[in-house]
């Protein structure tokens, strides 16, 4: 089941309490968003352990602005509170499933190490 997010507090709670969170930024008037929304809902049903959410950019413009969403649909994936994927555009079900599997298996230790190295080099 998809969860609609309307506030930053809701989003922060999800991102900090769930291991993996997918966020679909969309709008009612966006035809590609509606098409992707169907795919997104089907994949969400297949991965009940993952939090699949939606943010309507018209209902929550501050969240869209905070994430610098310029085109929709736009998908962001968090794992352990870190963005591991952010891309706009539609994608087929097979690609979304593959992305979901990658999110499940990505090594966060390696990502954290790279982030720390980048921080230290600045």
Residuewise pLDDT in 10s, the chain (122 residues): 678 877 888 899 999 999 999 999 999 999 999 999 999 999 999 999 999 999 999 999 999 999 999 999 999 999 999 999 999 999 999 999 999 999 999 988 888 888 888 888 87
CATH number at residue 54: 3.40.30.10
Distance between CA atoms of residues 69 and 54, nearest Å = 13
- Scanning the chain, the segments in alpha helix (DSSP H) are 8-17, 31-46, 61-66, 93-105, 108-121
Question: Which residue among the candidates 11, 20, 21, 33 is catalytic per the annotation?
Answer: 33
What the block records as the tokens of 90 is: 């539609």
Respond yes or no: is residue 33 known to be catalytic: yes
- The reply to whether 91 belongs to the active site is no
pTM: 0.90
Range of the domain at 17: 3-121
Please answer whether residues 74 and 25 qualify as being in contact, where contact means their C-beta atoms are separated by less than 8 angstroms.
yes
Cα 59 to Cα 1: distance, rounded to the nearest angstrom: 20
Total structural domains in the chain?
Answer: 1
Tokens 């998809």 locate to: 2
Task: Select which of 11, 21, 23, 30 is catalytic.
Answer: 30
């Amino acid at each position: 089941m998809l969860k609609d997010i309307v506030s930053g507090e809701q989003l922060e709670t999800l991102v900090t309490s769930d291991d993996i969170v997918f966020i679909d930024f969309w709008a009612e008037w966006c035809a590609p968003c509606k098409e992707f929304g169907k795919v997104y809902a089907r994949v969400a049903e297949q991965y009940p352990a993952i939090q699949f959410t939606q943010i309507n950019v018209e209902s929550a413009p501050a969240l869209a602005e905070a994430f610098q969403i310029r085109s929709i649909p736009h998908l962001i994936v968090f794992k352990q509170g870190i963005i591991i994927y952010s891309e706009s555009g539609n994608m087929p079900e097979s690609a979304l499933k593959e992305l979901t599997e990658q999110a499940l298996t990505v090594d966060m230790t390696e990502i954290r190490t790279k982030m720390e190295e980048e921080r230290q080099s600045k």
